[in-house]
Amino acid sequence: MSKGKKVVITGVPGVGKTTVIDASMEALKAEGVAYTSINFGTCMFEVGCDQGIVNDRDEMRKLDQDVQRELQKTAAKVIARITDNTIIDTHCTVSTPAGYLAGLPSWVLEELKPDIIVLVETDEDQILKRRLSDTSRSRDMEGYVAIKDHQRYNRYMAASYSMLTGCTVKIVRNLDFLLENAVSEMVELLR
Amino acid sequence: MSKGKKVVITGVPGVGKTTVIDASMEALKAEGVAYTSINFGTCMFEVGCDQGIVNDRDEMRKLDQDVQRELQKTAAKVIARITDNTIIDTHCTVSTPAGYLAGLPSWVLEELKPDIIVLVETDEDQILKRRLSDTSRSRDMEGYVAIKDHQRYNRYMAASYSMLTGCTVKIVRNLDFLLENAVSEMVELLR
Amino acid sequence: MSKGKKVVITGVPGVGKTTVIDASMEALKAEGVAYTSINFGTCMFEVGCDQGIVNDRDEMRKLDQDVQRELQKTAAKVIARITDNTIIDTHCTVSTPAGYLAGLPSWVLEELKPDIIVLVETDEDQILKRRLSDTSRSRDMEGYVAIKDHQRYNRYMAASYSMLTGCTVKIVRNLDFLLENAVSEMVELLR
């Protein structure tokens, strides 16, 4: 049984992560390269539903810390069992009122064993503009410095993920008007 | 038995960490929120005295590395057993002649299991001025760049603490003339 | 049986790491301080040859990931058994087409247990010039920003090494025309 690549794709809100993933998947499909795409949070939620722990996503946030960690671990195990090439869509670091939270803490990494962690990044100013023009989501508004700090923190965090698991950390810049560059870098990585 | 929060508070010498902690504890007390405050180094020293390993703090520095690590571990276990809300006053990274040293290495983190690590930061220039005007302590004088590097290194280090334990990392800025801002941020975090 | 120091020395290509190591070893020898110098990659290769897994260095790169990790672990064990003072010449982070790779992942660190990790750094512009004038090696040419990112990434990565093992991280600047400064810093560290 051959094993596929496990590629974790991350980026701060407004960086255009979904756009890059979707366009890359399409390009890869045209080349005959198949990837299964999984959202880590959705996978955790489905595991929680299956186990009768939660009924809706709001309940996820209110879970006891130990229960939440067990759900994370189980979700990571479920994904690790997939033998296809897999993209895991999640956050490197989550910015919460209590500070930065590791999106992939050690107990998740040890189950998931990713091959590559991608940090989709762009200029802070572009992220700001994209967030301002996105009327569909009501996000807590962060300033330029907070976004810059968050993008940097993702790099620090990813370094420790790499130390623990041996995965590589690839930075893909998704600049305005240059989506095709980001996509072609991503396709080369995933091919 | 309900469990209290374990909040590690760190900052480079001269950042005003003690001032922020003291003012925050006072404000919290006025609100009826109780916190036990522990200095990690003092706790280690007390454990060392109890075990008959040391008699004064100078001896702490000269201990064999393995003995020192055992003391760290025991101190972390002692603090972990506290069921109250606890503030742990320590260093994120210590700047030594042999380089940066992790204030909370993995064997400490695994016992301590902190909920939050706070990095109290401020402008390097202000730290320089505070150190220069502090005649009570004879500190090795560092320049602007060394202080900046140290504050940044604390961020990198804290990211790896977060990966291992799942704690959050909160940055609290303690700017000149704006102590009340730092205190109100801290109080909101600890409340 | 007394145990020597284990000092890992790292730096991006073109930083002048070998020059600093050689000059430091010579100065230490003149003082009567003995160090064994080991290149981690060479040690891995020798282990691979001994075990009949590879015949030349090109084959090293094409090994299955699991086999490669076992070789890394065995090499780390071999080095850990040395009782002399030892310099381990390796990379903190390797820049690969798939992204940054940890030079010392957790399974290597747990065997090696280094005392100090040295990051030899210099100005990005000097590294660029040194690489451009080095006609003996055909390196993939990186720009100023890529070199800066790589040097910074080494710092992030080293922080996580420090968290796991308790080693210190020392930054030694190897500036143009100031080799003797870098060497004297290194000698003080190793003495």
Interface test with B, best of A8, A142, A151, A160 (most B CBs within 10 A): A160
**pLDDT (tens digit, 9 = 90+) per residue, A69-116?**
999 999 999 999 999 999 999 999 999 999 999 999 999 999 999 999
Higher pLDDT, A136 or B87: B87
Higher pLDDT, A137 or C132: C132
Residue ranges of C 146-165 with Cβ closer than 8 A to chain B? 155-156, 159-160, 162-165
**pLDDT (tens digit, 9 = 90+) per residue, A4-49?**
999 999 999 999 999 999 999 999 999 999 999 999 999 999 999 9
Helix, strand, or coil (residue A54): coil
As given in the structure block, the two tokens for residue C4 are: 């020597």
Residue A14 covered by a domain = yes
Residue B157 covered by a domain = yes
Say if residue A159's pLDDT is above 60: yes
Residue of chain A whose alpha carbon sits nearest to that of B189? A98
Neighbours of chain B (3+ CB pairs under 8 A): A, C
Residue ranges of A 18-77 with Cβ closer than 8 A to chain C? none
Query: C51 in the Ramachandran plot: left (φ > 0), alpha (ψ -120 to 50) or beta?
Result: alpha
Measure in Å the smallest separation between the Cα of C29 and chain B Cα atoms: 20
Answer whether A184 touches C (CB < 8 Å). no
User: What percent of chain A lies above the pLDDT cut of 90?
Assistant: 87
Residue of chain B whose alpha carbon sits nearest to that of C110? B106
Residue A139, pLDDT score: 57
CA distances from A3 to A6, A29, A137 (A): 9, 19, 38
- Strand ranges in A24-167 using DSSP code E only, listed in sequence order: 36-39, 86-89, 93-96, 99-102, 116-121
Residue of chain A whose alpha carbon sits nearest to that of B115? A98
Answer whether C181 touches A (CB < 8 Å). no
Residue of C102, C153, C159 with shortest CB distance to A166? C102
- Strand ranges in B90-167 using DSSP code E only, listed in sequence order: 93-96, 99-102, 116-121
Residue B31 covered by a domain = yes
The residue type found at A44 is M
CATH of the domain at B17: 3.40.50.300
Asked if B117 and B165 touch (Cβ cutoff 8 Å), the reply is: no
Interface test with C, best of A93, A161, A168 (most C CBs within 10 A): A168
Cβ separation of C168 and B109 shorter than 8 Å?
Answer: no
Residue C184 covered by a domain = yes
Residue B80, pLDDT score: 96
Mean pLDDT taken over chain C: 94
Residue of chain B whose alpha carbon sits nearest to that of C159? B157
Measure in Å the smallest separation between the Cα of B141 and chain A Cα atoms: 28
Residue B1, pLDDT score: 45
Residue A53 covered by a domain = no
Instruction: Give the residue from C117, C98, C120 showing the smallest Cα distance to C164.
Output: C117
Measure in Å the smallest separation between the Cα of B30 and chain A Cα atoms: 22
Residue B137, pLDDT score: 64
Asked if A138 and A146 touch (Cβ cutoff 8 Å), the reply is: no
Residue of A155, A163, A170 with shortest CB distance to C98? A170
Please measure the distance between the N-terminal and C-terminal CA atoms of chain A and give it in whole angstroms: 19
Domain assignment of residue A175, given as a range: 6-38+85-190
Residue C151 covered by a domain = yes
Say if residue C2's pLDDT is above 90: no
* Count of Cβ atoms closer than 10 Å to residue A118 Cβ: 30
Residue A78, pLDDT score: 97
Alpha helices for A31-63 (secondary structure H):
40-50, 57-61
Asked if B187 and B21 touch (Cβ cutoff 8 Å), the reply is: no
Buried b or exposed e, range C148-185, using 16+ CB within 10 angstroms: bbbbbbbbbbbbbbbbbbbbbbbbbebeeeeeeebbeb
Residue of C105, C109, C156 with shortest CB distance to A155? C156
Q: What was the ipTM of the complex prediction? A: 0.94
Mean pLDDT taken over chain A: 94
This prediction's pTM: 0.95
**Chain position carrying tokens 């020192």:** B68
**Chain position carrying tokens 């993702």:** A154
What average pLDDT does this structure show over C22-27?
Answer: 96
Number of domains in chain C: 1
Residue C1, pLDDT score: 45
Divide the 191 residues of chain B into consecutive groups of 10 and give the mean pLDDT of each group. 86 95 96 95 96 93 93 97 96 96 98 98 94 74 93 98 98 91 94 92
